[in-house]
Amino acid sequence: MVVPSARLPAANKLLPCLPFPVVDLSWRRTRAAERLTRAAEDLGFFKVVNHGVAASAAAMATAAASFFALPPGDKLGAGPPSPLGYGVRNIGFNGDMGELEYLLLHSHPAHVAMKANSIPNLNASHFRVMGFSFLVSWRSALADTCIGGLDAVVNEYVKQVRQLAIELLEMLAEGLGLQDTRVFSRMLDDTDNDSLIRFNHYPTPPCLPGSADDDKVGNGTGSVRVGFGEHSDPQLLSILWSNDVDGLQIRLPSTSDEHEVEWLPVPADPTALYVNIGDLLQGHVLAEYYCSLLGGHFVWPHRRYKSFTWGEFKRAMYTLRLGYNRLDLFLAETDDKEDIDFL
């Protein structure tokens, strides 16, 4: 998502639901890579079908629902978010709020185990994580089922989603014509990568503890309820799965009127996955700039952005409101070009 500048007032305009770019992974590889790259450049958001991910997402939704169905006091044992953990309404450290509760976890199994052990009245063995970053819990009604079988389903889902992320990043590199097609996907192999999993739950009011009677949360006004306010995703990309609940919106690229913001509803499709280009790819994919990871620094050949480390970007991110365009902090002062070879 490309967010408007925090320094400009914006008039929100909700457009009718329109078709999204679709990348069908059953297509010929070159055709799919071309469609993916065009969608990333034009919109920064696209739909993936025939993605090969096993139909275990419903089990994941059931697992998440079992966590959110716990008594509030038990769920609070997994919080407060710092920024990882369980949170209610408060998003981040800078005053952003929304009508939701969420669970944000790092992919490392030790972190998930720690959170599981902090939740009262929940069997910590019901939390299983393998590889990418997924939390699993299930209702007591499922306690007598084959835990090993369910665990195998989840592990296979994790494996397939991670492989999908690698494939999409390599197809993007192919579409950009880069010689090193693993320039992006290689970052997922780093054991210290910041792969996260977020479960968002948007209950009907007044189910949230501490919910206000009015609607002055997030970026909403009047009768509009905002679950998770206007923001961009900081990482390379996000792979989104939803159940049959609508509500997600994306902002279209800037129009001729810089003060008008156009939002496009995203219809829920449990059979598909949606992919959102994150901040680290936005600058060089949407702006047609390449980046190379050299010594831990992202280097921008056309110098639109200064080089920065992920740590520097993350520290800046935690100081800003959700709606602020974080990449603005790293704009270069000149338009000098720098040639970089992708070997």
Summarised one tens digit per residue, pLDDT across range 155-166 is 566 677 788 999
- In the structure, what pLDDT confidence band is assigned to residue 214 with cuts at 50, 70 and 90? very low
**Strand-pair category, 85-91 with 96-106:** antiparallel
| C-alpha–C-alpha distance, residues 195 and 166, integer Å | 12
Summarised one tens digit per residue, pLDDT across range 63-88 is 777 778 888 888 887 777 777 788 88
- In the structure, what pLDDT confidence band is assigned to residue 341 with cuts at 50, 70 and 90? very low
Mean pLDDT computed over 202-210:
64
How is residue 85 written in tokens?
């953990």
How is residue 196 written in tokens?
């996260």
Nearest to 155 by CA among 199, 118, 109: 109
- Predicted local distance difference test score (pLDDT) of residue 8: 38
Q: How many residues does the chain have?
A: 343
Summarised one tens digit per residue, pLDDT across range 33-55 is 999 999 988 888 999 999 987 66
Given a contact cutoff of 8 angstroms between Cβ atoms, the answer to whether 60 and 190 are in contact is: no
The more confident residue out of 317 and 295 is 317
Summarised one tens digit per residue, pLDDT across range 107-154 is 655 554 455 555 555 444 443 332 223 333 323 323 333 333 434 544
- In the structure, what pLDDT confidence band is assigned to residue 197 with cuts at 50, 70 and 90? confident
The 8 Å CB, 24+ separation contacts for 139-143 are 139/62, 139/66, 139/69
Q: Which pTM was predicted?
A: 0.73
Q: Which one is the CATH code of 11-289: 3.20.20.60, 2.40.10.120, 3.30.1360.30, 2.60.120.330? A: 2.60.120.330
- Predicted local distance difference test score (pLDDT) of residue 292: 45
| C-alpha–C-alpha distance, residues 275 and 238, integer Å | 6
- Residue 313 pLDDT more than 60? yes
Mean pLDDT computed over 6-18:
52
Where along the chain do its domains lie? 11-289
Summarised one tens digit per residue, pLDDT across range 174-185 is 998 888 999 888
Mean pLDDT computed over 317-337:
75
Mean pLDDT computed over 285-304:
49
- Predicted local distance difference test score (pLDDT) of residue 309: 77
